[in-house]
Every structure is written in structure tokens, then in C-alpha cells.
Amino acid sequence: HYSFFPGRPRWPSWKQNLTYAFDPRNQLSDDVKRVFANAFSRWSEWTPLTFNESSNYFTADLRIGFYAGDHGDGEEFDGVLGTLAHAFAPPRGLLHLDSDETWIINDALASGSATAMDLESVAVHEIGHLLGLGHSSVEDAIMFPTISSGLRKVELARDDVEGIQELY
């Protein structure tokens, strides 16, 4: 079953049109940006929320970046595997990914190295946190707190949809 963060933080109803931006220092490819656009659309499909990319990193509601090790928010990354990414609950809107991981981008089979992680799978999960979902006890839910390397899991389960629809 789905869960929320303590105090049930969410984006307020007057802020249903959210903007997101990528840290300009990362110089991300269009392929990576497309993965995120896709991941956001999986959540907007089931909510009144919309997500649009902004070119202004500083004014965007949601900020996405890839960093290694200590990157200044008190939650440092740990090299290959371990923590892959983290996201902060509303209204902070930060989604960080560990740049020491091998990220698989847009590979239908999500295969390859034993330690490679599917970017869209992790993005869909972290966006759930950005919107206010905690972890789920339902194994096929996107918000279930385990994923195997090389596994691609990008479709919201009924449990994820029920959780996000209770919140929005």
C-alpha cells in the first residue's frame, strides 16, 4: 500500500502547473531530457498536474541534477550502487541523481553491465517522491523501495495511481 511523507506535504492546488529544469552545469543530452519528459508524463496522465521544462534553473519548481559524492545538501552520494538518487518532498522540489552510476538511457531491454541502472525507472520513482509519495509495500508499485540493476520498471501500478490520486 502507498504512503505519504509525514504531514502529507503536496504541491498546493494553485500550483498545478509545475516547471522543471536541469542543472545547466550538467550539460545533459536531449536523450536524457526526453527520459525525464517521459517520466513526468506518466504522472501527469493520472493527475491534474502538468510539467513543463523551463530554461531557468533558478526559478523552476523542480530542479534536476547529476552529482557525485558530497554535493552540498547534507545527503552525499556513495559511488557505484548503494544510493542511486534522492528527491525531496514538496515544496523543496530537488531531484538528484548519482553521477557515479552507469545510467541506461532509453534501452527497451535495459540490459548490459551488472551495475547499470535504468534512468527512467529511477526517475519515475523519484518524481513520485517530488510529488509527495513515500514508499509502497506493493511489490509491483513504482514506489516499492527495491529495484534490481538492469531492470526496467516504468509503468505506474494501480497502487501508485491510487496514492497520487488521493493526494491530488
Per-residue binder mask for ligand TQI (CB under 6 A), 114-143, x = binder: -------xx--xx--x----x---------
C-alpha neighbours within 13 Å on the C-beta side of residue 115: 9
Shortest CB 49 distance to ligand TQI, Å = 19
Q: Does 96 bind ligand TQI (CB under 6 A)?
A: no
- Relative to beta strand 17-22, strand 62-67 is parallel
Q: Does 153 bind Zn ion (CB under 5 A)?
A: no
Question: Which one is catalytic: 45, 53, 101, 126?
Answer: 126
Cα-based torsion angle of the residue sequence 110, 35, 123, 165 in order, rounded to the nearest 10 degrees: -120
Q: Is 162 a catalytic residue?
A: no
The grid coordinates listed for 154 are: 516504468
3-state helix, strand, coil in the chain (%, to 5): 25, 20, 55
User: Could you tell me how many residues of this chain bind Zn ion (CB under 5 A)?
Assistant: 3
Shortest CB 56 distance to ligand TQI, Å = 26
- The whole-angstrom separation of Cα 151 and Cα 56 is 33
Shortest CB 22 distance to ligand TQI, Å = 18
Say if CB 98 and CB 85 are below 8 A apart: yes
Catalytic residues: 126
Kindly list the residues in this chain that would bind ligand TQI in the complex (CB under 6 A).
83-86, 121-122, 125-126, 129, 134, 145-147
